[in-house]
Amino acid sequence: STKTQLCRDNLEGGEPAGSALLQRVKRGWVWNQFFVLEEYTGLEPLYIGKLHSDMDKGDGSIKYILTGEGAGSTFTIDDSTGDIHAIQRLDREVKSQYVLRAQARNRLTDRPLEPESEFIVKIQDINDNEPRFLDGPYRATVPEMSKIGTSVIQLTATDADDPTYGNSARVVYSILDGQPYFSVDAKTGVVRVSLADMDRETREDYTVVIQAKDMGGQLGGLAGTTTVNITLSDINDNPPMFDQRLYQMSVPESAPVGSVVGRIWAKDKDIGVNAEMRYSIIDGDGRDTFDISTDPTNLFGIITVKKSLNFEEKPSYTLKVEGANTHLDAGLRHRGPFTDVTIVHVSVEDVDEPPLFDAPAYYVELKEDAEVGTVVKNVSARDPDAANNTVRYSIERSSDPEKYFYIEITSGSLMTVRSLDREENSWHNITVLAMEMNNPTQISSVSVAVRVLDVNDNPPSLTDYLEMSVCEQTKAGMVIQTVTAVDPDEPRGGQHFSYSLAPEAVNNPNFTLRDNQGNPAERSHIARCFVYFCHLSINFVINLILLHLNLILCPFEEVSCLILEFSFVLFGCLDSVCALLMETLLHFSYMLHNLE
């Protein structure tokens, strides 16, 4: 501690101290700063310093007053001697200085003898705080296989001591645990890799203990520690490897396209995207029958059916499958190749299948005059399985409701049991069923289309009754009627007929029939004249109106003959409709008259 005195010149006029009212001051208080070490732990109050006025004659007439920061609580003053003591423990890190004010007063009158003056008590630092890592413990990552010197993380420790006073706050870093894998820079606190080719697959996590010591690391300095948990991050430095050199799988022959057969796995010691795989079938007799894809995790290969299987045709397949990493590190290609190959053997399991016909469908032509019992077609089906069970045949009755056909149960011979008629039914679509004897649930079907061929078994037919009208003076040779015959046999509309008069009409002297060699026949009058013959029948049904009209026009060279015969019956005929009908009749009459 330093003792500081306050000096005061005598008042002018020789007036005694304390009697003057401080009219003029030649020189006021002169102060020095007080310095005191922090963290005093003695039993007695810590002496800070002494205040003294030159007006103090030592007779106790002057009273010293102390005010300001900590006055009365942290600091006390002996008002007679001016001695200042600290009565509380001082901590520079809490408060580094105190501003106080001092004054000398007349003890009797309490009048100030000097103006109030200010002074500072500074707390001197001692090394009482260790360095601290405020954000610890720490976590950091660094890629595996990193080179020596690769930076991992930088640590900073803080020291609450005064960095401007001594070495109390000068920190030095060192590693207590974590060697030889990592090191720390003594000045900067940067943690670095100190061992090359650290492999995550061998060891992934490391715990490193770092120390920060003040006093420049010298003996007696205070230290603080922290922990750094360091994880090696993965890189793609390991090739994949199948866990089996040969996979055995099986699938039923009835498995539909797209069915999963099994899965394979090329394991990779790496993780994340570095372990993702792509699979492909690179060889084998099953590369066209099966397919492979990667599952949603991009780790497993899923083998599926690509084409329909048949145990009887091929009971097994071999696949050569390659697995390859999808994310490669260009700097690590020398560690490759990052692929692996395995063999997959797929066995096709036999499944009890329904009988198989020797044709997908049958087509048969049969004449309509075929005798009952005629064999239409011999259908054949076999059990495709190795057991080759006996097959039995039948007809699905809904396809032959009138039961024209029958099939022999063991031989598959389809035959007729009724006479066929093309004019009634020219096609029969029969469904034949084949069933295994030992397993009635195994049934298959096939379509047999039977076309009935035509036979000329129907005579031509004419209109039963024809009625004609002819003028009595019609000339011979004029056509008065055309006769047409029809035949339901094939070809429709293309039959060639020959026409002749019935025996009882052959000798009729007035009419004859001309055969047009396959075309419709014409009937003529013997007389030779040009005849216009018009037979018009019109039937109207309008509001229960029935009209029948016959018109016959026979124009001759000498005379015009118009025969108009009509009859109609009207029931509730409206005036407008009747007028329309009458107008139509008159129009026809005029037209026929002008045909002359």
User: Distance between alpha carbon 312 and the CA centroid of its chain, in Å?
Assistant: 39
Please state, rounded to an integer, the average pLDDT across all residues of the chain. Answer: 81
Instruction: Give the span between the Cα atoms of 579 and 539, in whole angstroms.
Output: 17
Peptide bond into 180 cis (omega under 30): yes
Please tell me whether residue 38 adopts helix, strand or coil conformation: coil
Cα(30)–Cα(7) distance, integer angstroms: 6
Higher pLDDT, 344 or 583: 344
Asked if the model's pLDDT at residue 367 lies above 70, the reply is yes
User: What pLDDT, on a 0 to 100 scale, did the predictor assign at position 240?
Assistant: 94
Lowest mean pLDDT among 4-18, 163-177, 378-392: 4-18
Helix (H) or strand (E) run with residue 141 in it: strand 138-143
For residue 329 the two structure tokens come to 């590190």
Give 528's contacts (C-beta < 8 A, 6+ positions apart): 475, 476, 477, 478
List, for residues 442-451, the tens digit of each pLDDT value.
899 999 999 9
The DSSP line for 145-184 is TPPTT-EEEE---B--S-TTSTTTT--EEEEEESTTTEEE
CA distance 124 to 168: 12
Q: Read off φ and ψ for residue 123, nearest 5 degrees.
A: -95, 120
Phi, psi of 151 (to 5 degrees): -70, 135
- Taking the C-alpha atoms of residue 450 and residue 425, their distance in angstroms, rounded to an integer, is 10
Share of the chain above pLDDT 90, in %: 50
Of the listed ranges 403-417, 493-507, 526-540, the least confidently predicted one is: 526-540
Residue 358 pLDDT greater than 50, yes or no: yes
307-350 confidence digits (pLDDT tens): 999 998 899 999 999 999 999 887 787 777 899 999 999 999 98
**Percent over 70 (pLDDT), the chain:** 80
CA distance 243 to 506: 107
pLDDT of residue 27: 39
pTM (global) more than 0.75:
no
The partner residues of 134 in beta bridges, in order of sequence, read none
Domains in the chain with CATH codes = 34-124 (2.60.40.60), 138-233 (2.60.40.60), 241-349 (2.60.40.60), 361-453 (2.60.40.60), 546-593 (no CATH)
